Amino acid sequence: MKKYLLEIMKNKEGSKLAYLSPIGKDGNTDGGYRIAGPKPWGGCQEITKLKITSRDLVEFIKVYAPEVMDELNKISESRKVVSPEQAQGRSKR
């Protein structure tokens, strides 16, 4: 299972934000992405760093960004593979 480094930060205004970086096989991270919170204008203070799995990431999204989870579920539903029989059944409704 893929591992990530999740960094929770606090900006100068007190807002919290999160960065996610994939952890490579060598144990190092190669860049990161802001996945929650505002842009860190004026720098940030680190609150914590956690090594997490992709399963943990999904739980993080469910708790801290439920609207993102809703959108991911909609995308997942629209991409479900169905058999030709199922597709025919849908078109007859």
User: What digits encode the pLDDT tens for the residues 61-84?
Assistant: 788 777 777 877 887 788 776 566
Q: What percent of the chain has pLDDT over 70?
A: 86
Write the pLDDT tens digit of every residue in 12-67.
888 888 888 999 888 888 778 888 788 877 888 989 999 999 888 888 778 877 77
Residues 33, 62, 72, 11, CA torsion sign: negative
Q: What is the pLDDT of residue 81?
A: 62
Length of the chain: 93
> How many angstroms separate the Cα of 20 from the Cα of each of 15, 75, 84?
17, 21, 39
CA 53 to chain centre: 11
